[in-house]
Chain A
Amino acid sequence: MSIVQRVGHAGAPSRPAGPGGRALAALFSREFALTIPALVLLGFAMGYPLATIVERSVTDFPGGSGAFLDNYKWFFEEELNRVVLLRTFRTAAIVTLACLLIAYPYACAMTVVGWRMRLVMQAAVVAPLLVGTMTRNYSWVILLQDKGPINDALGAVGLGPLHMIGSLSGVIIGLVQISLPFIILPLYASLREIDGRLMGAARSLGATPAQAFTRVYLPLSLPGVVAGSLVVFVVTLGSFITPALLGSPQQSLLPQLIAQQVNQLLAWGRGSAMGVILLLVTLLLIWVGSRASRGSAALSGGGRR
């Protein structure tokens, strides 16, 4: 409050007119001043720690000394790391695909039902978010255990028991259910914007329902598909809790390996290098994803001609 008032009084009088002077004055404007507390937090809690991690990845070596990029070289030369990196990508891809297959029809349905039903469907999506991460992970530990209710049910119909907890399939089941809200919400937001009359127009021009869907609805929904999938993929790539609780150390994913380097081996340089690699991959994916969704938006814009 005091900042707003003080800066408000100081900033109110005349501003210099020249273009250079204006830019300089704008830099010290009260609007910029309002962002300073947030910038200080970001600098201290994000900028400085991340810089430390980058620095350690090129200066901290297990043997005590090493060359500039040794930790990165180690990461790509060690076979276990390559296996884990590949497994992490494969897991993220499977989880994303499964989420998409479940979320798409659900989000579609949300756009056509009445408002009361939509509210119920929306509540079902938001409820797991309110319940909290640990509660949801805990319930999957119970459900997936070897003598758990899912195995009881599978055994009753002659399919089980399956070994799910402590395996990658358990991790995938848990991650799919936990990630569903993250894809349904953006997908619904994007499907809601599609003009339903376009499908009717396609039908009246002789398209079959299937054609109207694949040629009109599906292309128009692609930006939402890309955005939602990207969220799930990126979140899965960095997930730590679910693999730690539902998976096994023999089938660990990259985040677990990072934690292990730092916590158990105290190999800060290697752990940091892995963290930097994970960050770069994530940023690359987001960049590609945002370009792809812009591309498909242009495509749907072209379809209007």
Chain B
Amino acid sequence: MSARKGRAALMVFCGLVMVLLIAPALVAVPMGFNGRATFEFPPQSWSTRWYENLVTDVTWRDAIVNSFKVAAIVAIVTTVMGTAAAYGLARGRFPGRGAVMALATAPMIIPIVLVAIALYAIFLEQKMVGTLEAFVIAHSLIALPFVIVTVTAGLKSLDDGLERAARTLGASPAVAFFTVTLPLLKRSLAVAAALAFAASFDDVVVAIFISSPEFQTLPVKIYSSLTDTVDPTVAVASTITLAIAALGMAVAFVVMTKRGVEGDAAR
């Protein structure tokens, strides 16, 4: 087999993998326009009533609002908390630094079911099941490692001489941090906040355990409507997340292509 043929075969394989990665999620789009409440694919009749249902049905609307509320609070709390911790870990020389770092990334490693039942046990004890506070605490734990890892990487790629220069020129540590380091970290902080938001917004397992019929997030609502009923509103919710994801990808793609072109020109 010639090298060229081998290469062509590899690219065909990669094309198939790309289809495998992307195509399945797209089935939600036609399903959202299903005329009847079935899982039939492709749908036999069409309607837009599930789109109406998503905004008029109180349980769906509440679930969406709750998801955004929790994720926004979690993004803010963990970005502040995680940035402080990452900075302390990157600049500090205190004993037990490695242990703190390991502890901070541990929520990523612990099986999510175990995290779920452990938090459920505590929130039952404290009568906090189905509260906004419980969701914020649980999702902050899940999101914190993403922030710490991202900001730590950002700090590593930063020239810490700049902060020292500010200090020698008379800035207090706080002033040096807020006027020199923080602006340079802007991009890492944005990525960290986005990841924290996504980690909270996407969580299903912990949310299933700590939610109540009165307080659910969107993934819990999707999960329960998949297991208990046949409700095409699920497909609408999925289509909307798809659209948001596609939009985000498109923006990132344009930005990176531009940077790629500039990078090529610079070379």
Which A residues lie at the B interface, using CB under 8 A?
A: 1, 3-5, 8-9, 11-12, 23, 26-27, 29-35, 37-39, 41-42, 44-46, 48-50, 52-53, 56, 102, 105-106, 108-109, 115-116, 119-121, 123-128, 130-143, 145, 147-149, 177, 180-181, 209, 234, 237-238, 240-241, 244-245, 255, 258-259, 262-263, 268, 271-272, 275-276, 278-279, 282-283, 286
**Can you spell out 10 A-B residue pairs with CB atoms less than 8 angstroms apart?**
A48-B122, A52-B118, A108-B10, A115-B264, A132-B219, A139-B26, A147-B40, A237-B111, A262-B120, A275-B111
Chain B interface size range:
35 or more
The 8 closest A-B pairs by CB, nearest first: A31-B92, A238-B111, A34-B88, A49-B118, A130-B245, A38-B85, A8-B174, A135-B238
Are the C-beta atoms of B223 and A4 separated by less than 8 Å?
no
Are the C-beta atoms of B89 and A35 separated by less than 8 Å?
yes
Are the C-beta atoms of A37 and B260 separated by less than 8 Å?
no
Interface flags for B22-57 (1: CB within 8 Å of A; 0: not) read 101111100100000001111000000000000000
Within 8 Å by CB of A12, from B18, B81, B172, B256, lies B172
Within 8 Å by CB of B84, from A35, A115, A134, A237, lies A35
* Max chain A C-beta neighbours (<10 A), residue from B89, B114, B237: B114
Interfacial chain B residues near A131, Cβ < 8 Å = 25, 238, 241-242, 245
Query: How many residue pairs bridge A and B at CB < 8 Å?
Result: 273
Q: Can you name 4 extra interface pairs (CB under 8 A) apart from A138-B28, A148-B41?
A: A37-B80, A49-B122, A143-B27, A145-B41
Query: How would you classify the secondary structure of chain A's contact residues: helix, strand, loop or mixed?
Result: helix
Are the C-beta atoms of B92 and A29 separated by less than 8 Å?
yes
Are the C-beta atoms of A109 and B109 separated by less than 8 Å?
no
Which residue of A is nearest B113, CB measured? A255
Q: CB of B205 within 8 A of chain A?
A: yes
Are the C-beta atoms of B204 and A133 separated by less than 8 Å?
yes
Q: CB of B168 within 8 A of chain A?
A: no
Which residue of A is nearest B40, CB measured? A147
Are the C-beta atoms of B93 and A31 separated by less than 8 Å?
yes
Which residue of A is nearest B253, CB measured? A123
Q: CB of B190 within 8 A of chain A?
A: no
**Min CB distance, A302 to chain B, in Å?**
28
**Min CB distance, B73 to chain A, in Å?**
13
Within 8 Å by CB of A127, from B148, B178, B245, lies B245
**Contact (A128, B84) CB under 8 Å given A8-B172, A255-B113, A282-B110:** no
Are the C-beta atoms of A127 and B249 separated by less than 8 Å?
yes
Query: How would you classify the secondary structure of chain B's contact residues: helix, strand, loop or mixed?
Result: helix
Are the C-beta atoms of A53 and B114 separated by less than 8 Å?
yes
Which residue of A is nearest B111, CB measured? A238
Are the C-beta atoms of A46 and B106 separated by less than 8 Å?
yes
Are the C-beta atoms of A133 and B40 separated by less than 8 Å?
no
Interfacial chain B residues near A125, Cβ < 8 Å = 21
In the bound assembly, the distance between CA atoms of A265 and B158 in angstroms comes to 53
In the bound assembly, the distance between CA atoms of A31 and B25 in angstroms comes to 45
Within 8 Å by CB of B22, from A50, A124, A148, lies A124
Are the C-beta atoms of A262 and B117 separated by less than 8 Å?
yes
Q: CB of B62 within 8 A of chain A?
A: no
Within 8 Å by CB of B82, from A38, A268, A286, lies A38
Tell me the chain B residues, 193-219 only, with Cβ under 8 Å from chain A.
Answer: 198, 201-202, 204-205, 209, 218-219
In the bound assembly, the distance between CA atoms of A149 and B103 in angstroms comes to 45
**Min CB distance, B114 to chain A, in Å?**
4
Which residue of B is nearest A3, CB measured? B84
Interfacial chain A residues near B106, Cβ < 8 Å = 42, 46
Which residue of B is nearest A282, CB measured? B111
Within 8 Å by CB of A279, from B110, B122, B125, B235, lies B110
Interfacial chain A residues near B22, Cβ < 8 Å = 124, 127-128
Interfacial chain A residues near B18, Cβ < 8 Å = 120-121, 124
Are the C-beta atoms of B117 and A142 separated by less than 8 Å?
no
Q: CB of B162 within 8 A of chain A?
A: no
Are the C-beta atoms of B121 and A27 separated by less than 8 Å?
no
Interfacial chain A residues near B174, Cβ < 8 Å = 4-5, 8-9
Are the C-beta atoms of A42 and B103 separated by less than 8 Å?
yes
Q: CB of B68 within 8 A of chain A?
A: no
Are the C-beta atoms of B10 and A45 separated by less than 8 Å?
no
Interfacial chain B residues near A132, Cβ < 8 Å = 201-202, 219, 238, 241, 245
Within 8 Å by CB of B24, from A140, A147, A279, A282, lies A140
